[in-house]
Chain A
Amino acid sequence: MECSNIQEKLSAYIENIISYEEKLLIEEHLKSCRKCSKSLSELRKTVKYVQSLEEIEPPRWLTQKIMARVRSEVVATRFRAEPKKGVFLKLFYPLHIKLPIEAFAAIAIVITSVYIFKTIQPEMKVVQAPTGNENVIVRDEVRKQSQQLRAGATIPKDEIASPLARNDRKGSSSEEKVYAFKESKPILVKPAEPEMPAKKPENIEKYTEAPKAPAPVVRQEKVMPSAGAVVKDESKRKAISAAPKPKELVEGKGSAARRDSISLTLKVKDLETVSEEIEKVFIQLGGKKIETESFDNKKVIIIELSSKKLKELFEKLKLIGEVKEGKAALEEQEGDVRIEIEIVAISDKK
């Protein structure tokens, strides 16, 4: 047997895990081979040295540390298992699909903002509208008023005293003026304002609510000296009703009549039958008759009517006769509206 073969088996030989035959062969060889005998003794020593290595002692804290880590692991696994049943998760993930709460929040914000924007929009319109045109409108109106005032002031007394004659001579032209004046009126008039003539321009504030409002006041005051507060008011009232009335009465009525009132002129042939028809119409529409004033060839009916029914009324009146009215005034009214219908017989004119 070769030495290398023997040496290979020496490792097994020292542990006595080889067959008896092999063992005998090795022992036979070792007797004659010094080299292999040396190898065997060296191997034995090596194994002895290795086996003689002292066992090291674990540190005292080792068990504690291991168990601390194991216990924290137990807690961690329990914690990991628990959230499945958690109320928190059920709240935030009610669906089987995990849709995060952020998505819901985003949708909610979008919906809310759209809703808020929609509700706010009309208000923005109201605020914006006056800023651009208000001054122009006011000036126009003031100019019209002053014209009207001059006209009213210059209208001869006899014309008021004898409406017949007026109608004969320049009825149509005066009516035009009345119309022009009346149309602008509802915009300016402030409801339940007792001192109308002097404070009239302040009504603008209702629409503008801007510091620019006082400007027209000055203008109005500049106009006033030429016509005079009382004259102005009276003439205006005259223009509306074309009736000679005492000043007190005019003022009282005027303040009431100006409140959100719409004026319209209806030209008809037969005064009496038409007025009856009109009365029927607004009773149908749910209107309220307030006052009727009759004159020789014209009649003034003051009624109160829901603004929603206004258009209907106008349509029906158009069937009865020729209607003249301010459309702008029509659109701006809200709630119950006071309407002054002036019925004029045109048979006389022709």
Chain B
Amino acid sequence: MKEEKKIITDEDYKFVSLCKKGDVDAFEVLVKKHQKKMLNISYRMIGSYEEACEIVQDSFVSAYKAIRDFEGRAKFSTWLYTIVMNLSRNRLKQLKTQIYYEQVSIDDPILTDDGNIKAESVSNEPSILEQLEKKEFQQKVQGCINSLDDEFKEVLILRDIQGFSYDEISEMLKIAEGTVKSRLFRSREALKICLKKVIGDL
């Protein structure tokens, strides 16, 4: 995954320089290439599909506005994901103050974009349809991710979901690599506890 990225980044640079000259169509290529990952990052951060779509739009618009300031020291994708991370984080803070997030207890119903998932007891009834079961399970995992603190959530998403290297993560989040590692450990532990309670035996 990481190796693949490097090749893409090289391609990106061509389009980025075209964008700097005012080529809007070149920017469209970049949008098409990165929007999915952007959306996934944002969705995992916020937990709402609609909100994530808004964040991705805002991110690309501000990226275009600032593309002349992009010096190319980091990869364009890294720069782009930093933007979406920052916007998602800000939006999350906004949402929290807006609806006064109740203290998320693991036993409480967990907010997902599809609705509430009940924190279930250990004795989980087997689902009839595997597809439904899978979807439900994924929603539970997302619910647990949502319950994490922002700083732990970030590293987990970037590392375990998006597969970025520690180097890239420390670049994006502007934190030391050691910090990334320790945060990742804590967030995995927290998620493990959460999943144990939600799903039952791991």
Contact = CB atoms under 8 A, between A and B. Distances in A.
Interface of A: 7-8, 10-12, 17, 41-43, 45-47, 49-59, 62-63, 65-67, 69-71, 73-74
A74 B57 CA distance: 15
A51 B35 contact: no
A67 B202 contact: no
B202 A45 contact: yes
Given A11-B185, A58-B36, A70 B60 contact: yes
Contact of A42 (B44, B60, B192): B192
A66 B57 contact: yes
A50 B156 contact: yes
Contact of A62 (B22, B44, B57, B160): B57
A43 B192 contact: yes
A83 to B, nearest CB: 19
B188 interface: yes
B16 interface: no
B57 A53 contact: no
B136 to A, nearest CB: 13
A62 B32 CA distance: 9
A145 B22 CA distance: 99
B53 A58 contact: yes
A44 to B, nearest CB: 9
Contact of A56 (B32, B49, B192): B49
B31 interface: yes
Interface string B48-83: 010011001100110011000000000000000000
B117 interface: no
Prevailing SS type, chain A contact patch: helix
Interface of B: 22, 24, 27-28, 31-32, 35-36, 39-40, 43-44, 49, 52-53, 56-57, 60-61, 64-65, 137-138, 141-142, 145, 156, 160-161, 166, 181, 184-185, 188-189, 191-192, 195-196, 202
Most B CB contacts (10 A, CB to CB) among A7, A43, A67 go to A67
Nearest to B57: A66
A285 B37 CA distance: 107
B35 A62 contact: yes
B56 A58 contact: yes
A65 B27 CA distance: 13
A43 B156 CA distance: 13
A70 B64 contact: yes
